[in-house]
């Protein structure tokens, strides 16, 4: 999928919804946004990571089932929050069986993440216990931003009659790992925007994350490098 197809633009005033306003040929020019945040979706295969992402990015309800993600995918969403223009790069990876990955270096997936959404399926208990047994450990091991904001999300609440993990248990786990907690349904879109909104507001409250995500700071660092190494060709910035 091309970056143009992947990206969306939206706006967020105080208390407003994180609504996208359609796919847009918005330029990746870094002068167009103030902060660039890297957000990760992790959790067992089939919990609904890709569905959550698609549900957040697209304006319509998901009508068909997705295939398991192979490798790594990302989507970009551009938003304005409190007058600040944000570029969210939301990463999603296929997790066929627990820790098994398709050709990605786990540490680079986590490197520099500002926010991580840990997803489980409220109808499959093992996906909940794996958040502790696998995913929280992986975050601990690889997440390079100490202040990285984490959010535990119980997905598929539309299947209430099949529920295998109570809301209280989800809240308890989030408390244990000092994360925020929400339940949602990628299928009906219930609470999906709320999940991303919660994460973004939390990121915006952490000065160290703001500095790491600041395009102005990155530009300044590049400028300093150009002074130090005037003949070296600088790569792209602010990814
Ligand atoms: N009922 C219901 N089904 C969902 C929901 N979210 C996802 N699904 C379904 O669950 C299945 C797995 O969803 P995916 O989004 O592919 O899951 P994933 O976590 O990306 O899986 P991998 O790519 O294999 O890691 C698909 O059939 C989805 O349609 C939800 O909120 N409610
Ligand atoms: Mg997937």
Which ligand 1 atom sits closest to the C-alpha of 65? 29
- Residue 169 to residue 112: CA distance in whole angstroms: 30
Question: In order of start, what are the domains of the chain with their CATH numbers?
Answer: 8-220 (3.40.50.300)
Tell me, using a 6 A CB cutoff, whether residue 66 lines ligand 1. Answer: yes
Characterize the bridge pairing of strands 72-81 and 115-121.
unpaired
Distance CA 52, CA 38 (A): 16
Beta strand pairing call for 19-23 and 149-155 = unpaired
The pick from 44, 45, 62, 66 for probing ligand 1's pocket by mutation, whose C-beta has the most ligand atoms within 8 angstroms, reads 66
Measured in Å, residue 128 CA sits from the centre of ligand 1 at 15
List the one residue out of 12, 20, 77, 61 whose CA is nearest residue 189. Answer: 61
**Distance in Å, CA 99 to ligand 2 centroid:** 14
Specify the pLDDT at position 228. 66
Q: Could you tell me which residues are beta bridge partners of residue 88? A: 37, 77
Residue 62 CA to ligand 2 centre (angstroms): 14
Q: Is 98 in the pocket of ligand 1 (CB under 6 A)?
A: no
| 8 A C-beta contact, residue 71 and residue 100 | no
Q: Is the CB of 77 under 6 A from ligand 1?
A: no
pLDDT at 2: 43
CB-ligand 1 contact for 214 (6 Å cutoff): no
| pLDDT score recorded for residue 230 | 65
Q: Profile the chain (239 residues) by mean pLDDT over runs of 10 residues.
A: 46 42 41 88 95 89 77 89 91 68 70 96 98 93 90 98 98 96 96 95 91 75 68 48
């Amino acid at each position: 999928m091309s970056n143009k197809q992947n990206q969306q633009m939206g706006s967020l005033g105080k208390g407003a919804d994180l609504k996208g306003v359609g796919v847009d040929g918005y330029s990746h020019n870094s002068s167009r946004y103030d902060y660039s945040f890297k957000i990760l979706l992790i959790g067992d295969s089939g919990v609904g990571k890709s569905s959550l992402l698609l549900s957040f990015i697209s304006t319509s309800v998901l009508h068909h089932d997705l295939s398991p993600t192979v490798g790594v995918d990302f989507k970009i969403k551009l938003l304005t929050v409190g007058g600040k223009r944000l570029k969210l790069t939301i990463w999603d990876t296929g997790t066929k069986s627990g820790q098994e990955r398709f050709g990605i270096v786990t540490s680079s997936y986590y490197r520099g993440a500002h926010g991580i959404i840990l997803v489980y399926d409220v109808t499959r208990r093992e996906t909940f216990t794996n958040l502790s047994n696998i995913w929280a450990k992986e975050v601990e091991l690889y997440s390079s931003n100490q202040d990285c904001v984490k959010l535990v999300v119980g997905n598929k609440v539309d299947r209430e009659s099949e529920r295998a993990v109570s809301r209280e248990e989800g809240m308890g786990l989030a408390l244990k790992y000092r994360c925020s907690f929400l339940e949602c349904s990628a299928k009906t879109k219930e609470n999906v925007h709320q999940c991303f909104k919660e994460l973004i507001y939390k990121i915006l409250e952490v000065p160290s994350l703001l500095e790491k995500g600041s395009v102005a700071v990155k530009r300044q660092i590049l400028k300093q490098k150009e002074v130090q190494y005037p003949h070296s060709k600088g790569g792209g910035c602010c990814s």
